Structure 1
Amino acid sequence: MSLINGTETFAAARKGHYAVGAFNTNNLEWTRAILGAAQEKNVPVLIQTSMGAAKYMGGYELCLHLVQDTMKSMNITVPVIMHLDHGNYEAAKECIEVGYNSVMFDGHDLPFDENLEKTKEIVKLAHAKGISVEAEVGSIGGEEDGIIGEGELASVEEAKTLAATGVDYLACGIGNIHGLYPDNWKGLNFDRLQEIAAEVETPLVLHGGSGIPKEQIQKAISLGIAKVNVNTECQVAFAKATRKYIEEGHDQNDEKGFDPRKLLAPGAKAIKDTVESRIEWFGTPSL
C-alpha cells in the first residue's frame, strides 16, 4: 500500500473516540519495528521524523525513501502516514517539497501572530499538494531537538484561531511534556482539554505520550485526542534490551554475537512490543 495523508484517518479517530499512534523512527530497525507492529495489529500508523533524527539519518528525502522501500520489502498493506514532527518553518516547507504526506509546523515559540501567519502559509502550501498539516498551540514541556517548552496550558481562544486556519490536527499543551516524566508531575489538565475540545472540532494531538499512565491517555482520547505521539518509551525499551543482551555476554559468547544484526535484534523486538502495546492502549480498531 502507498503512503497516505492523515486527514481522514485522524478525523475518523476523533469521531470514533479512539487514537492512532504516531511513532518516531530513528533508523532502519525502528522503521521495521513500527511497520511490523502496525501490520500485525492491522491498524493505520503514523511514522514521524524529528528534524534531528532526519539530519542523523541523512535527510528528509532519505527518510521518506527508507519508509517507502521498507513498506515494499515487508509487503505492508495497512495505511501509513509519513510525518514531520516538530518542524520549524523551513523544515516544514522542505518536507512538503520532498513529498512527506503530513507535516507539523511548530510555531509555539514564536509570537502568536507570527505562528498564525506562518501556519496559514504552510497550510496553503501543503493542502495544494494533498499534504496534511499539524500545528501547535501552547507549549509541550521539555525539549525536542532544541525546541524547548515550559509546558504552559494552551489558550482556548488561540486554539480556536489556529484551528480556523484549516489545519488537519492540532497539538495543544495540557500539562504534557517530552521525555521522561518527573516524579512530581501533576498529570494532564483534563479541564483545559475539555474546554478546547468543546470549541474545536479538529482532531487533537497529545505529544509527550511516553510515560503518561494508561488511564490518563485513555481519558484524554475520550475527550478528543486522536493522535498520540510516542518516542521516548521506544528509546528506553531499545536501550534496556540492548544493554541486557550485552550484559549477559551474548556479544562475546554467542557465535557471531557481535554481528549487528544479532546485537540489535533484541532492541528492535522491544520497540515492536512497545508499539503493539500502545496500539492496544489507544483503542485503534483493526481494519
Structure 2
Amino acid sequence: MFERQDFLPGSVAVVTGAGSGIGAAVAAGLVSRGVAVALLDRDAAALAASVAACGGGRTLALTVDVADPDAVRTAFAAAADRLGPVRHAVAAAGILRPAPLTEIDPADFCASWQVNVGGVLHLLQESARTLPPGGSVVVVTSNAAVVPRTSMATYAATKAAAAALTRVAGLELAAVGVRCNMVAPGTTATPMLQALWTDPDAARAQALAGEPEKHRLGIPLGRIADPEDIADTVLYLLSQQARHITMQQLVVDGGASL
C-alpha cells in the first residue's frame, strides 16, 4: 500500500470552542501535526492559555462568539489572510445548561440554540463557501443526541439538531469533495462539565456507576474520557486517513450509550 500524509503540508484549520476542553485539545493535536490553526473562542484569556499549550507552531487567536454569523465570517477571512487557505474546520463550541423540562429557562433555551446549533450552522456555511475539494469538517455533538436523559432536554435537542444539520451539509458538500462528520462524546472531563459538579468525587462515581432514576446507564469501560480521547477521533475524521468517510457520527463514550 502507498503511504499518504494525514494532513497535507501547509494545511490550515479553524477550531471553535478552542479556549478549553475538547476544542483546545483538538487545536493542540492539529498543531502537533504541523497544521496551522485559528483558535476561536469568546474567552480571550482562555484562548491565550490554549495558544501557549499548543507549544509552538502557527496559531492565530481570535475572540469570537460563534452565535454571530458576521463574526464567524470575519474569523474565516482572518484565518485565510494570516495563515493561508482554510482546509479543515471543527465546531467544538457549546454550552450546557441542564434543567428538568418544566424548569427550562427560555433564555437558556435560546442561548443554547444560538451557540450549539447556530454556531454549527455558521461554521458549516463558511466551510461551504471557503473549503477546497479534499477539505473536511467535524462537528462535536454528544451522545445525548442519541440517548435521552432527564434534565437534558435542551442540550439533547440542540445536539440532535446539530447532527441533522451536519448530515445535510455533508450531502450538499459531497458534490465538491468536502467531508462533514461528527464526534459524539459522552462524559468528558472538560471545564464545562466540571463546573456543574458540586462534589467532584461523587459526580465521577455517579457517572461511572450510572443513575437509574435519571436513565443514565453508567460507563462500561469504567473511566471518564479526557478531552484528548475525543480530540484523537476528531483528528482522524479530519485527516486523509478518513478520506472516504462522510455524514457519519462516531460515539466516543466508553459504551455509555450501549
TM-score tier by shorter-chain length is 0.3 to 0.5
Larger CA Rg, structure 1 vs 2: 1
TM-score by length of 2: 0.37
Higher relative contact order (CA 8 A, sep 6+): 1
